[in-house]
Amino acid sequence: MSKTALQFIVLSVVLVLAQVLVFNHICLFNLAVPMVFIYVIVRLPITMNTNQVLTVGFLLGLVVDIFSDTPGMNALSCTVLAMFRRPILRLYVPREEDLTRPEPTLQSLGTAVYLKYLLTMSLLYCSLIFLIESFTFFNPLQLVLRVIASTVLSMLLMLGADSLMTPHSEKRL
């Protein structure tokens, strides 16, 4: 097993445990719920096969569903997120040769492109999960506020996780 695969397995276990034990119990102002476990899908290498990415996304969502008592909502949302990961990245980076590393990170994409990529991925996931959860447009303002607040909170926490994941030798001053 390669070092990268082992790192992603450890990252997945840590983020799923953090999501299930801590972040699922946080709801700021009755709106924002942080969804940090999707960081695993965001950081998967570009060189990974599409079937592998979809499988990882589904299994990641399924594990969170099992421990969160959400019947299939996270599995569906993570699978859709995994499916749209490469097209979203191609919106901001037209050629994969422009990447300095196979993983989409702050250093490999640059600050502006990475923030747009992370915002789009977070917004897509939060929109899907809250639409599936409410399954109605009865209160559209509440739905939009939940999506926006959760997207911003999740994005900030994933940026924090990204700063922890970056080796000190790669950090810029």
Convert the pLDDT of each residue in 93-102 to its tens digit: 877 666 667 7
Region of poorest pLDDT, from 28-32, 115-119, 122-126: 28-32
Q: What percent of the chain has pLDDT over 90?
A: 36
Burial (Cβ within 10 Å: 0-12, 13-18, ≥19) of residue 87 = exposed
pTM tops 0.95: no
Instruction: Yes or no: say if 44 and 96 are a contact pair by the CB < 8 Å rule.
Output: no
Spatial contact of 60 and 16, defined as CB atoms under 8 Å apart:
yes
Residues 57 and 74: their CA atoms lie apart, in Å, by 9
Inform me whether the pLDDT recorded for 35 exceeds 50.
Answer: yes
Tell me the C-alpha distance between 27 and 33, whole Å: 5
The predicted pLDDT at position 173 comes to 43
β-bridge partners, 32? 28
Across the chain, what does the average pLDDT equal?
85
135 or 136, higher pLDDT: 135
CB atoms inside a 10 Å sphere around CB 6? 10
On whether the CB atoms of residues 8 and 40 are closer than 8 A, the answer is yes
pLDDT at 51: 92
Return the amino acid letter for 53.
Answer: V
